Structure 1
Amino acid sequence: MGSTGFFESGKPVLLHYDGTRWSKVAVPGVGAARAGLKDVVAGPGGQLWAVGEIQAPDKSWKALALHYNGRKWTEVPLPNGTGRLGSVTVSRGEPVVLEEKTEETSAALRYTGRKWVSMKLPADGAEPLAASAVSASGRTVDVVGYRPATGSQYVGPGAVLTARR
């Protein structure tokens, strides 16, 4: 898998490179809706995970998580009310995604194969975390982001969080 994003029509694009050429791959669960993919990651055994958002019939946006098992792509249901997903990684064979709850607050979710579980990002006092990327290596998961600005600051202090699983 090589690229994610929007077509001019508002449809997501999945491209696969076989070592010689690129080919377009069908995106499941999208139908006629506008949607976009923000991130894609490879997991063990040729599995892939892609995350983004899809526009609901009422024109609101909801989270979109897709899984490739080595043969086909499927949409993975998310808990009701899940915000937009912007980043995905794989830790110990399980995907970990970043959810944008608001412009200035984020959450991390881990998929167990049956359900999504919150990883409970810590708050720094009363300051929430606006996370922008998640990465994993072995049992370690890292989240990068910033604390929202206060007063006249444009962007608050940066933050890197590390958790062992």
Structure 2
Amino acid sequence: MSRGATPDITVRPMREDDWPAVRQIYREGIATGQATFEVEAPDWNRFDSSRLAAHRLVAEAPGVGILGWAAVSAVSARPVYAGVLEHSVYVSEAARGRGIGSLLLRSLIAATEQDGIWTIQASVFPENEPSLRLHLAHGFRVVGRREKIARMAHGPEVGQWRDTVLIERRTQVL
């Protein structure tokens, strides 16, 4: 377990019984219109089958519960890309600005590097400046911008094309 921004917050592996809290945080992110193209949080079975079990984390505080989560997906089934993952980090609305995202990201980086992962990547909306700042502070770099990569299917921007910024972090360990 990692300790983070405040001494009572710990990071641990995500369990299936964490799903209701994780799903609620995911829904809060979706509602912002700045976190994902997803329209709704999946059910546990879909989440479970689309994320690698080895690198699912939650940040929690005693008496408060889950404050955020991180998870990864393989970017390809091809063996040569086994060390390249796409990740997500979500923090509950009530816990934003308290270092939870930083704590989760540091923990995710350490765990993936320990398992021989050489690249972690993500696509972030350019308007999501807090997420971009967080990632840049943890060694991610901007690889490029994908213009009009997909249309929004929810919120006030339904049907509007959105850009994403492709970011990646290459390990210094290998």
TM category (shorter chain) comes to 0.3 to 0.5
> Max radius of gyration: which structure?
1
Q: Structure 2 length as normaliser, TM-score?
A: 0.34
Compare the two structures and name the one with the higher strand fraction. Answer: 1
Compare the two structures and name the one with the higher helix fraction. Answer: 2
Q: Structure 1 length as normaliser, TM-score?
A: 0.35
Q: Which has the higher contact order (CA 8 A, sep 6+)?
A: 2
